[in-house]
Structure 1
Amino acid sequence: MAWIKWDQVLNSFSRGGLNIGSLKAFNLALIIKWRWRYLSSSDDMWVKVIKVIHVFFLKIIFIWRLETEEMSFWHDSWCGSSSLVSRFNRLYHLDINRLESVADKWVEGEWRWVWLREEIGSRNLTSLLNLLQELLNVNVSNREDCWKCSLNGDGLFTVKDTREHIDRSILYSHHVPTSWVKTLPKKVNVF
């Protein structure tokens, strides 16, 4: 009788296993499903109750969501790790509308600037070009913000995709696939 590690049995077919999947990965995927439902259906009654009971705890645990209507263009850290005023201070002092939100600056698909003077100078122009280069990496739209799952291309959350992703991360990958008898059921192969 050939002995095979249990982790190898749990692995996917492509990694030489029987594609059973681990209970740990399945449990984590189901827990993540509740988090996904919490994030994507904020109008449900159970979400409102949890927010009221655990507001402080949830602010720590869950990812902060970019709300362009409320976010200050210059003062909040929405583009990069620090605020734009700290990185582009000269442009900030030239801007007439220093308290505008991101949504106010983004008008009809382009950035709107109103400067204190007509000529901003070559040094400030270089800063503006650097700022615009950074802003190219940010996807801003007039649509309402929403959550999308990045495990598959359609943006929808599935427990199956999440479990498979967790299994790939925690199960040891064997370089030599185990040869299973494909005509026999999985439980006989495991035995």
Structure 2
Amino acid sequence: MRYLSHDNSLWFRIISSLHGLNGHVLSAAFNSTWSSIITEVNSLKVKGVDLISHCKVACSREKNKDISVADKMNTSISSSFRRHVRGGVESQQLDQLSLLLYTVILSNMDDRWFWDLNGDGIFQVKDVRSMLDEAFLPKRKFLLVD
């Protein structure tokens, strides 16, 4: 998960230079655990099991990546829009959104990645195993005998 969330970090650049971007291995000379993981994740995706889709980031879609949610909440929400609100229904919707946001209470936490296959958001191998079993193991059919 750290690899996914630090796309400008030294860690990301090292892994990418050794193993390529988006799982496309640049050099077969560097066979490692990471290249094996990337290969398997891509192989599963081809078979219809997209593990990466279950890694979500809890963050804003803000253009200014250095702004905190609290700072953003203290500015006008309309500054986040690509164009100005034209009035009418858009203006009413902006007012409703502003009222909803006014009631939000923020906690002092950093954005983080979470795993959506369980209730606690923490990656667990057993969740992947269950997902793979569900996708690839034959379904048992029970016959009722009278």
TM score, norm. by length of structure 1: 0.34
Say which structure, 1 or 2, has more relative contact order (CA 8 Å, 6+ apart). 1
